[in-house]
Structure 1
Amino acid sequence: MPETNRIEFKEKLTKEIDLEKEVIAFLNYNEGGFIYIGIDKMGTVVGVKDIDGDMLKIKDRLKTNIIPSCMGLFDISSEEKDGKDIIKITVASGSEKPYYKRKYGMSEKGAYIRNGTAADPMPQKMIDELFAKRTKTSIGKIRSSRQDLTFEQLKIYYEGKGITLNKNFAKNLELLTEKGEYNYVAYLMADENGTSIKLAKYNGLTRVDLTENPDFGYESLIKATKQVLDKIEIENKSDTSITSAERIDKRPWSSIALREAILNAFVHNDYTTEVPPKFEIFDDRIEITSTGGLPNGLSKDEFFEGFSVPRNKELMRIYKDLELVEQLGSGVPRILEYYGRECFKFSENFLRMTFPKEDITPQVKTMPVKESDESAPQVTPQVTPQVKKLIWAISDEMGREEIQTKLNLSDKRNYRENYQKPAINLDLIEMTIPEKPNSSLQKYRLTDKGKELKKLMSK
């Protein structure tokens, strides 16, 4: 993987490495980009020794040294490549260009733009033109109509993630205007507001026969988001069939795709219109509609490829803090793993996602059996000795490190490629948090099919 106009390599993180310059160049670039720490200029993976420490240093440098604030516009994650740990920084294209170094201000010495594989100083003429076009109506700049706001709900959600909001939280979370008053972001996050979040359920295929119309608004947008997620999860109940060979669960919609679509609608809705996202359930489909078409400068192809231009960087930052969203630009590609591009409909002022309902009539599957035991599944040649060892090692719910220790395996890549991944592909084990595959709380357990195989192995 060579360096490109969207990919930059850094061998290691030091004070001499001008990381801010590279990030600023991507923020000012229409497509954003990726910076990898632990890969040299030749593309050779050298790894990162103190990955947690370096990730904290990166976040602090970008938060402190770049103007306007780029919080919510970058994502820092760890990856494993060639058996070594590296850091990946995903940078979105910013909506408040030009971005520049705090130390040097809005000058050619402080502002940069991506040019091929280099970060070049931005000409003063371009700086002046971008500043003249800078968005003045973002929700971070709009003064809240109410200034008597409280944030107990938001504090509870942060405390649930082990984060205590101090007395400066409003400034740190960008809930204030330049004059120090609560902005529209604060209004949306407050315990009480006038934003109504509608969820409608209809009997039939049209909007004629309304059967349910709960309102999850007038509260913190985070609380409303969780209520919509819970309601849709109830509607997306699975139909189960249990046979002597296996248990078959089938949902009418992909729970992963629905979750991503709901979160995208909340985070990227254009709240400057004061029109919130809308969620509708029909007998044959679910429709999710958000206000605002494609962000400026983003084409449909770039949208589907996962290029990220967050409309509301302040909301993105809060949703990331609370682990509701994971990585910049990952939502749409995840949806496309389950549904086609035709499910997205764009207009000048709206984006609608329509997910057709699948037939959930259970299809009973039969499994090969041995003549001596008609109730037991036959172990196929696909089940390797490594997978059998993994199945034998797992009891209840176990974390990756715990399983590796039990198997006496030190190489994470070997475990992932030869043990875990094949077992998941064969539906023998499953994740406890499938919607967040990289969660630090992730654990693994045997499926019913895996349990049957373990019984057979014990015989």
Structure 2
Amino acid sequence: MVLIEDLTTELKREYTPEIIKTVIAFANTNGGTIYIGIEDDGDIAGIENVSETMLKVSNAVRDSIKPDVTLFTDYQQEQIGNKTILTIAVQKGTSSPYYLTSKGIRPEGVFVRQGASSVPATETAILRMIKDTDGETYEEVRSLNQDLTFEYAEKEFSNHNISFEENQKKTLQIKNADGIYTNLGLLLSDQCIHTIKLAVYEGNEKEQFKDRREFSGSLFKQLNDVYEFIDRYNNIRSEINGLQRIDVRDYPTEAIREALLNAIVHRDYSFRDSTLVNIFDNCMEFVSIGGLVKGITLDDVKLGISVTRNHNLANIFYRLAFIEAYGTGIPKIMHSYREYETKPRIEATNNAFRIALPNTVNEKTVSNQPANKTAIQSNPVKNKKLAGDEQTVIALFDKNEFVTRQDVETALDASQAKALRVLKRLTKTGKIRTIGGGRNTKYKKTDD
């Protein structure tokens, strides 16, 4: 028998640790056979203790290579003349890239076959193998970095009394069935490679910076850090109604929260670019990479229809109560601006999604409530010039001598701030008058 080294054949005089690299290369390429006991020139040297050598190789293959490649290896001893050799047949594996456990899924740990040599794979080749094996879903693909820590994520899970042990990581798809971290694990780890860039501008154009930051780390950390930072620019102003003062924000806090969560949970992480948050005097915008999921239109999104790009990531945020239910974020944002004339702007391109929240500091409020027909008919002259929400409030006095602010909130399905504004307008025009003060404030309709 005359053998020469080629794409599928490797000759070794004796066992050396380098054999493991060849096993990896064969499993990652087209398979092959390693012959131990044969010189590089094809001369048969033989080995003295075949059983001991086989044990060394099988133990090294089992302990030094991930994912498990043992099912794709077969060991046989062969007799050539009076010499004994060991053959290791390696099939092409189904979970490439296979790699050295000690090096990880990096070029120094992944090998492929080129001619008669086993060489480190390029990062491009590694990514192609992962894509071919794991499919297109970014969060389910194996992470190139397996040296991950979860200090921040562990605290977040602990705060919600949810287990974050090894079994839980597999259940949540942070690790796959082979115990290998997925890209979902990378996103939640302290080593997350994706960031959020935040810029605060002077005025309404991208001309002069007032402040800019880049937030990194686990997506949980980015969420909390960015929200805390934005809160500094969400100014509080006060409105007075009688003895009551109500604090109002420039931006509805619920709208900021939902827009930020949308940018984090639904962006396309197969792109490396950062998520952007821009704060101007007149608005705050959130720009995330990745357009709408195929088959979904912008009108669908506004109606609350949700097809999640990162299903496993969304599931974790749902379990931790960051999101209440799929598809509710955009409707919540729109609902939080129901009292204002200017509404949030939502735009989508093939590769980006943008939500712009208007600053409400100079916004006029609008009525979203239909006029109360009973009130109009019973008081046609008095209520003729009143807005719909004011007519609704006046109608409350048809059955009640006194009305509280809480009664108005319920009738208008409005916030405390809007209820007070409506009551203030009616008081100014002399339609109602205030009785009492503080928490005991009531309102009574005047006789004129």
TM-score where L is the length of structure 1: 0.51
Q: Give the distance between the partners of 1:307 and 1:250, measured in 2 at CA.
A: 31
1:236 counterpart SS class: coil
Alignment of 1:85-234 (within 5 A): 136-177=135-176, 179-217=178-216, 219-234=217-232
1:137 counterpart SS class: coil
C-alpha RMSD of the superposition: 3.7
Q: Give the distance between the partners of 1:355 and 1:215, measured in 2 at CA.
A: 21
Q: Which amino acid aligns with 2:356?
A: T
Asked if the contact 1:239–1:362 (Cα under 8 Å) also holds between the matched residues in 2, the reply is: no
Q: Select 1:343's aligned residue among 339, 342, 345.
A: 345
Q: Give the distance between the partners of 2:409 and 2:237, measured in 1 at CA.
A: 27
Q: Give the distance between the partners of 1:243 and 1:421, measured in 2 at CA.
A: 18
Which residue number in structure 1 is paired with residue 303 of structure 2? Answer: 305
Question: After superposition, what is the alpha-carbon deviation per residue over 1:81-101, rounded to whole angstroms, capped at 9, x for unaligned?
Answer: xxxxxxxxxxxxxxxxxxxxx
Which residue number in structure 2 is paired with residue 263 of structure 1? Answer: 261
Q: Which runs of 5+ in 1 are unaligned?
A: 1-133, 364-378, 392-417, 431-448
Q: Select 2:277's aligned residue among 259, 276, 279.
A: 279
Say which is worse superposed, 340-349 or 231-240, in terms of deviation: 340-349
- With over 3 angstroms needed to count, the CA separation of the structure-2 counterparts of 1:140 and 1:241, relative to structure 1, is closer
2:142 counterpart SS class: coil
Question: After superposition, what is the alpha-carbon deviation per residue over 1:294-313, rounded to whole angstroms, capped at 9, x for unaligned?
Answer: 10111222121111100101
Question: After superposition, what is the alpha-carbon deviation per residue over 1:85-132, rounded to whole angstroms, capped at 9, x for unaligned?
Answer: xxxxxxxxxxxxxxxxxxxxxxxxxxxxxxxxxxxxxxxxxxxxxxxx
Q: Give the distance between the partners of 1:317 and 1:330, measured in 2 at CA.
A: 14
- With over 3 angstroms needed to count, the CA separation of the structure-2 counterparts of 1:135 and 1:206, relative to structure 1, is farther
Asked if the contact 2:282–2:359 (Cα under 8 Å) also holds between the matched residues in 1, the reply is: yes
1:272 counterpart SS class: coil
Of structures 1 and 2, the larger Rg is shown by: 2
Question: After superposition, what is the alpha-carbon deviation per residue over 1:361-415, rounded to whole angstroms, capped at 9, x for unaligned?
Answer: 999xxxxxxxxxxxxxxx9773777997998xxxxxxxxxxxxxxxxxxxxxxxx
Answer yes or no: is 1:382 the counterpart of 2:388. no
Identity of aligned residues (%): 28
- With over 3 angstroms needed to count, the CA separation of the structure-2 counterparts of 1:240 and 1:361, relative to structure 1, is farther
TM-score where L is the length of structure 2: 0.52
Which residue number in structure 2 is paired with residue 427 of structure 1? Answer: 416
- With over 3 angstroms needed to count, the CA separation of the structure-2 counterparts of 1:426 and 1:254, relative to structure 1, is closer
Asked if the contact 2:188–2:220 (Cα under 8 Å) also holds between the matched residues in 1, the reply is: yes
Q: Give the distance between the partners of 2:164 and 2:414, measured in 1 at CA.
A: 42
Q: Which runs of 5+ in 2 are unaligned?
A: 1-132, 366-392, 420-434, 444-448
2:215 counterpart SS class: coil
Q: Give the distance between the partners of 1:291 and 1:153, measured in 2 at CA.
A: 24
- With over 3 angstroms needed to count, the CA separation of the structure-2 counterparts of 1:179 and 1:202, relative to structure 1, is same
Distance apart, 1:235 and its partner CA: 1.2
Question: After superposition, what is the alpha-carbon deviation per residue over 1:289-333, rounded to whole angstroms, capped at 9, x for unaligned?
Answer: 011111011122212111110010111011111111101111111
2:295 counterpart SS class: coil
- With over 3 angstroms needed to count, the CA separation of the structure-2 counterparts of 1:263 and 1:342, relative to structure 1, is closer
Query: Higher relative CO (CA 8 A, sep ≥ 6), structure 1 or 2?
Result: 1
Q: Give the distance between the partners of 1:252 and 1:166, measured in 2 at CA.
A: 42
Q: Give the distance between the partners of 2:258 and 2:305, measured in 1 at CA.
A: 15
Q: Give the distance between the partners of 2:307 and 2:289, measured in 1 at CA.
A: 15
Asked if the contact 2:134–2:140 (Cα under 8 Å) also holds between the matched residues in 1, the reply is: no
- With over 3 angstroms needed to count, the CA separation of the structure-2 counterparts of 1:426 and 1:312, relative to structure 1, is closer
Count of aligned pairs? 266
Q: Give the distance between the partners of 1:387 and 1:175, measured in 2 at CA.
A: 58
Asked if the contact 1:241–1:362 (Cα under 8 Å) also holds between the matched residues in 2, the reply is: no
Alignment of 1:22-61 (within 5 A): none
Asked if the contact 2:192–2:218 (Cα under 8 Å) also holds between the matched residues in 1, the reply is: yes
2:139 counterpart SS class: coil
Distance apart, 1:422 and its partner CA: 4.5
Alignment of 1:440-455 (within 5 A): 452=438, 454=440
Q: Which amino acid aligns with 2:359?
A: K
Q: Give the distance between the partners of 2:155 and 2:334, measured in 1 at CA.
A: 34
